[in-house]
Chains A and B, each alone.
Chain A
């Protein structure tokens, strides 16, 4: 009887819990923050209710897509996964529904994983371009004061840094004495660009000092950045060369495939002789 009901309403029994799980994670804040329920839901459903979606969408070229539209798209995608599972899987109804719910959650998560990969790629590109951005500022720092150098660098640095440099310049203009603008600049990357901190520390110290001390600091900065640029370039070349190196084994792959096929044909009892 129970199996009959499950079989008849399998789509409903699969879709409703799925939607419940993905939507419920967003209502976690109704529970008190320190409570056991909150902690459990936070840990268990943290996989499903991502908190940084808004930021990820903005930073990865989806600024025009609202979070709501994005979530709706994902839920629809998950439901499509559930429907596909129900059609393709042939098993006991209860087991089938559980598997389909898991498939739905996987389909729901896949789009977020692509977004995470895109963010990871963006951070990798930013790490690669960071030494070049700091190099531009250091060149300008030879002839202008630090704040002017940062202002002029806005038009020249890689586009990934333009927006954040504009904010840095504005904050320095409002508060030229403290180190806060530089700390804010580093914090905007959530600790993912650790190499930024010592460079900005040097820039702050150069801005506060003058004369020969500033020149010494600038020379130190240039030496550090030149080493970083060499390292980034060597790493880029190494990655490309290793990719090309792997492509070079395609003839070996062909040879192995063909030889395995011929050996299998010769060693099996089935004869292909005409």
Chain B
């Protein structure tokens, strides 16, 4: 009886959420501009619409799991776990999207600087043109660097500012661009166009590699979700065909324990492994 109640309540929640979303009940907050101090944290806040989506996803998972769960307690715990872990998954995904945005900005910065330095041979002018195209916290960092250069600071201060940039964005192209800029600023010498072309080629190769890695990782993630769903379906099929033998040979408690181990094992691994699918995509 309790099992049926939990199943019906999951369906009702599912329908309610679906209807509410379509009525436009949840309007998201405006996206905040990233703060430099919080550069490693989420840049989107959790709005009502996102929370509703999370509840919807948790209900869908519970509804699916309920078909193999023979205990109302297990089903309820699955729902609570799904609700509790969903923000964790969301935060990983948002971090990954933020890192991709930062990477796009870094590539834009490096490629444009390569072209502009070839054209104008002026570091400050090139930085001024490039910063207009940037969207993430890189823009603020570049503006700080520009201020130091414009104030006519000594080479050591400029090197310190550049080293902060290199620490925040751990890419070789940033380091190499800093070398080129330092040389142009303080040696007053013209940079060979061949060097700038080499720099542009290196940036392009990095961009290609990261894009390929991103596609591969996305495919692996879909494959992983497919394998997890497939395992649950195979388990369901097994329970269906062996129902009478299982009832004859196992008591209820043992069966529920085994069932719970499988359900929670698959679910928890789904949530915790998901962060590996979001890691190391845009790193060099």
A244 touches B205 (CB 8 A): no
One of A229, A247, A249, A266 near B242 (C-beta < 8 A): A266
One of B191, B216, B265, B276 near A143 (C-beta < 8 A): B191
The answer, yes or no, to whether A211 is at the interface (CB within 8 Å) is no
- With a CB–CB cut-off of 8 A, which chain B residues contact A156? 175, 179
Mask: chain B, 200-219; 1 = CB below 8 Å from A; 0 = not:
01100110010001001100
A259/B235 contact (C-beta < 8 A), A143-B191, A272-B250 known: yes
- With a CB–CB cut-off of 8 A, which chain B residues contact A249? 227
Shortest Cβ distance from residue A164 to the other chain B in the assembled complex, whole angstroms: 19
Q: Which residue of A lies closest to B234 (CB)?
A: A255
B220 touches A244 (CB 8 A): yes
Among listed A52-60, A176-184, A232-240, interface-contacting one: A232-240
Mask: chain B, 218-262; 1 = CB below 8 Å from A; 0 = not:
001001100110011011001000100110111100100010011
> With the chains together, A273 CA to B246 CA distance in Å?
10
A251/B269 contact (C-beta < 8 A), A139-B195, A259-B238, A266-B249 known: yes
B273 touches A248 (CB 8 A): yes
Looking at A215, A229, A262, the one whose CB has the most chain B CB atoms below 10 A away is A262
> With the chains together, A222 CA to B198 CA distance in Å?
8
> With the chains together, A132 CA to B198 CA distance in Å?
14
The answer, yes or no, to whether B148 is at the interface (CB within 8 Å) is no
One of B192, B209, B224, B246 near A142 (C-beta < 8 A): B192
The answer, yes or no, to whether A274 is at the interface (CB within 8 Å) is yes
Shortest Cβ distance from residue B270 to the other chain A in the assembled complex, whole angstroms: 7
Shortest Cβ distance from residue A136 to the other chain B in the assembled complex, whole angstroms: 7
The answer, yes or no, to whether B172 is at the interface (CB within 8 Å) is yes
Tally of A interface residues using CB under 8 Å: 40
A237 touches B250 (CB 8 A): no
The answer, yes or no, to whether B1 is at the interface (CB within 8 Å) is no
The answer, yes or no, to whether A241 is at the interface (CB within 8 Å) is yes
Q: Which residue of B lies closest to A250 (CB)?
A: B269
- With a CB–CB cut-off of 8 A, which chain A residues contact B235? 255, 258-259
> With the chains together, A54 CA to B201 CA distance in Å?
43
B176 touches A139 (CB 8 A): yes
A226 touches B176 (CB 8 A): no
B179 touches A244 (CB 8 A): no
A142 touches B284 (CB 8 A): no
> With the chains together, A261 CA to B235 CA distance in Å?
13
> With the chains together, A140 CA to B249 CA distance in Å?
75
A271 touches B192 (CB 8 A): no
Shortest Cβ distance from residue B193 to the other chain A in the assembled complex, whole angstroms: 10
One of A226, A254, A274 near B262 (C-beta < 8 A): A254
Q: Which residue of B lies closest to A227 (CB)?
A: B205
B245 touches A230 (CB 8 A): no
> With the chains together, A45 CA to B231 CA distance in Å?
53
The answer, yes or no, to whether A30 is at the interface (CB within 8 Å) is no
Shortest Cβ distance from residue A45 to the other chain B in the assembled complex, whole angstroms: 44
Looking at A140, A244, A251, the one whose CB has the most chain B CB atoms below 10 A away is A251
The answer, yes or no, to whether A5 is at the interface (CB within 8 Å) is no
> With the chains together, A259 CA to B232 CA distance in Å?
12
A230 touches B213 (CB 8 A): no
A143/B192 contact (C-beta < 8 A), A222-B198, A251-B270, A272-B254 known: yes
A262/B179 contact (C-beta < 8 A), A244-B277, A248-B227 known: no
A248 touches B220 (CB 8 A): yes
A251 touches B176 (CB 8 A): no
Mask: chain A, 200-239; 1 = CB below 8 Å from B; 0 = not:
0000000000000001000100100010011001100100
A254/B187 contact (C-beta < 8 A), A226-B205, A265-B250 known: no
- With a CB–CB cut-off of 8 A, which chain B residues contact A254? 231, 261-262, 265-266, 269
The answer, yes or no, to whether B5 is at the interface (CB within 8 Å) is no
The answer, yes or no, to whether B23 is at the interface (CB within 8 Å) is no
Shortest Cβ distance from residue A165 to the other chain B in the assembled complex, whole angstroms: 15
Give the 3 A-B CB pairs with smallest separation, nearest first. Answer: A248-B224, A254-B265, A142-B195
Give B contacts to A, CB under 8 Å: 172, 175-176, 179-180, 183, 187, 189, 191-192, 194-195, 198-199, 201-202, 205-206, 209, 213, 216-217, 220, 223-224, 227-228, 231-232, 234-235, 238, 242, 245-246, 248-251, 254, 258, 261-262, 265-266, 269-270, 273, 276-277, 279-280, 284
**What 5 new A-B contacts, CB under 8 Å, besides A143-B183, A262-B242?**
A219-B194, A222-B198, A258-B235, A258-B261, A266-B245
What are 24 A-B contacts defined by CB distance under 8 Å?
A135-B172, A135-B176, A142-B192, A143-B191, A156-B179, A229-B205, A237-B209, A237-B280, A240-B279, A244-B220, A244-B273, A247-B276, A250-B265, A251-B266, A254-B261, A255-B231, A255-B235, A255-B262, A258-B261, A262-B246, A262-B258, A266-B249, A272-B250, A273-B248
